[in-house]
């Protein structure tokens, strides 16, 4: 690696490699998944520019400032049931029904002793009464009601501010807006929020053999699938993305695309050409224009991975094999993108379930096998998708989870407990 880049003279390019060599356990030819994640993490500083967006445009965006409520929610004590509002002390007697409170149309007159009002869910509790009884626990005769099952004092009343008190911080900076948050913001009368700008991510495929969909295949050519998988995962990640196409293994074309990508984006992702002993063009270019480390990660699939900086842009060189490209994206790039986008906490839960298939595996590396979670009786179990080769992209389509097998785990018999990382949750 060169100490300085002619394109980016201000950047101290010695930092990355120097840092790597200081790590006790740094061995580019045997990086564990955890080491690689930890290493990348240290170089990620979130974007700082912000923008204000309307609620309807806020889904998936990351809050830059806290959201504080200016209101109590609910704004007034109100009924949680359709029923009758009454004084608890008078609950043993028949009560006279003197009016009705609707949601949005309060009952404002005084309620004299021995009386009650009919009340609908969401209606304001008028002064003087303290409890609501659900309609099903009453017997009505003309204008009189008898309570057949007396509830506790204060029952069925939602209290002012019990959800959110005025002045309370409801969403912290770094929070990624989910559908419930959109409703929450609206419930507070907040029309827009300040969020970090979207990350700009460019990506391209490398390889002489690649052809884009829509063009005929010649002998020995294959369709470029990685760019479409990447399109999908980046779209789901909510970044501003730029597909730079597939670039032949041609130094001039690769250089031009790489430099343009790095100059205009926060992150550049390429697939292919980072394996040892091939596609030297990419390696040479990265050494010339940036500071990029090439790792052989103790994992399957996805062994070769390159990470570094080209100017201010973060660079991820993913393997060309379609499953490896997706697995390395999910296991390294996705969290890095979230972090760069300002997300405060990253949660990717795993669960232990029984695997109904035997698993072939050697110790010494982490594997992300493709699995199908399914329900048998009352229990969730997992089976494998079958062939686990790094080129078998249909295994990713069939799967709904990764079966995560750590370095210490060897071959497993059917019935063993394994960690699974589901692809989808409820939200």
- Where do contacts with Mg ion occur on this chain (CB under 5 A)? 207, 272-273, 320
Rounded CA gap, 262 and 245, in Å?
A: 15
Q: What angle do helix axes 280-289 and 251-264 make, rounded to 10 degrees? A: 40
321 binds, among ligand AMP, Mg ion, none (CB under 5 to 8 A by kind): ligand AMP
**Nearer to ligand AMP among residue 164 and residue 333 (C-beta):** 333
222 binds, among Mg ion, ligand AMP, none (CB under 5 to 8 A by kind): ligand AMP
| Tokens found for residue 19 | 């840092």
Q: How far apart are alpha carbons 382 and 402 in whole angstroms?
A: 10
CB of 416 to ligand AMP, least distance (A): 31
Q: Compute the least distance from the CB of residue 333 to Mg ion, in Å.
A: 19
Please identify the residue of the shown chain whose CB is closest to the bound ligand AMP: 320
Sites of contact with ligand AMP (CB under 6 A): 205, 207, 209-210, 222, 224-227, 271-273, 275, 278-279, 319-322
Neighbours of 417 (CB within 10 A): 11
275 is in the binding site of which of ligand AMP, Mg ion, none (Cβ under 5 to 8 A by kind)? ligand AMP
Smaller CB distance to Mg ion: residue 273 or 290?
273
Residue (112 or 220) nearer to ligand AMP, CB:
220
- Least distance (Å) from Mg ion to the CB of residue 205? 9
- Write out the two tokens for 266: 């926060």
Nearer to ligand AMP, 144 or 231 (CB): 231
Nearest residue (CB) to Mg ion, 64 versus 325: 325
**Comparison of 321 and 384: residue with beta carbon closer to ligand AMP:** 321
91 binds, among ligand AMP, Mg ion, none (CB under 5 to 8 A by kind): none
| Residue 226 contact, options ligand AMP, Mg ion, none, Cβ 5-8 Å cut-off depending on partner type | ligand AMP
Is the Cβ of residue 138 or residue 226 nearer to ligand AMP in the bound state? 226
Q: Compute the least distance from the CB of residue 359 to ligand AMP, in Å.
A: 24
Give least dist CB 210 to ligand AMP, A: 5
Partner from Mg ion, ligand AMP, none contacting 126, C-beta within 5 to 8 A by type = none
What is the closest distance, in whole angstroms, from the C-beta atom of residue 276 to Mg ion in the complex? 12
Burial of 325 (0-12, 13-18, 19+ CB in 10 A): buried
CB of 318 to ligand AMP, least distance (A): 8
Using the structure block, give the residue that is written with the tokens 């391209």: 204
């Amino acid at each position: 690696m060169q100490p300085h880049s002619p394109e980016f003279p201000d950047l101290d390019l010695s930092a990355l490699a120097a840092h790597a060599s200081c790590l006790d356990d740094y061995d580019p030819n045997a990086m564990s998944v955890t080491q690689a994640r930890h290493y990348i993490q240290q170089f990620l500083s979130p974007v700082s520019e912000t923008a204000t967006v309307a609620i309807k445009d806020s889904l998936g965006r990351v809050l830059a400032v806290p959201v504080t409520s200016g209101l109590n929610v609910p704004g007034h004590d109100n009924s949680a049931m359709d029923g009758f509002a009454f004084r608890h002390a008078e609950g043993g007697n028949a009560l006279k029904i003197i009016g009705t409170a609707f949601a949005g149309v309060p009952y404002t007159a005084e309620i004299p002793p021995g009386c009650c009002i009919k009340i609908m869910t969401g209606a304001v509790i008028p002064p003087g009464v303290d409890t609501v009884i659900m309609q099903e626990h009453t017997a009505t005769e003309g204008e009189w009601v008898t309570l057949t099952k007396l509830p506790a004092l204060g029952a069925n009343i939602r209290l002012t501010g019990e959800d959110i008190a005025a002045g309370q911080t409801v969403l912290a900076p770094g929070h990624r807006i989910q559908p419930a948050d959109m409703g929450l913001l609206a419930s507070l009368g907040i029309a827009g929020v300040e969020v970090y700008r979207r990350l700009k991510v460019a990506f391209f495929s490398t390889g002489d053999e690649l052809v884009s969909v829509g063009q005929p295949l010649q002998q020995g050519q294959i369709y470029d699938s990685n760019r479409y998988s990447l399109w999908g995962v980046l779209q789901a990640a909510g970044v501003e993305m730029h597909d730079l196409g597939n670039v032949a293994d041609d130094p001039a074309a690769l250089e031009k695309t790489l430099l343009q990508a790095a100059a205009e984006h926060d992150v550049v992702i390429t697939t292919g050409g980072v394996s040892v002993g091939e596609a030297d063009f990419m390696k040479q270019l990265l050494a010339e224009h940036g500071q990029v480390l090439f790792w052989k990660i103790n994992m399957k699939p996805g062994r070769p991975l390159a990470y570094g900086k080209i100017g201010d842009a973060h660079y991820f060189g993913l393997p060309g094999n379609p499953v490896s490209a997706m697995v390395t994206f999910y296991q390294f790039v996705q969290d890095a993108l979230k972090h760069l986008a300002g997300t405060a906490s990253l949660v990717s839960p795993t669960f232990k379930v029984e695997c109904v298939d035997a698993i072939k595996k050697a110790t010494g590396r982490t594997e992300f096998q493709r699995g199908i979670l399914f329900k048998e009786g009352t229990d969730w179990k997992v089976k494998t998708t079958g062939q686990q080769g790094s080129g078998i992209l249909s295994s990713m389509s069939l799967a709904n989870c990764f079966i995560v097998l750590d370095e210490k785990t060897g071959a497993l018999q059917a019935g063993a407990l394994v960690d699974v990382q589901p692809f989808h949750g409820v939200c």
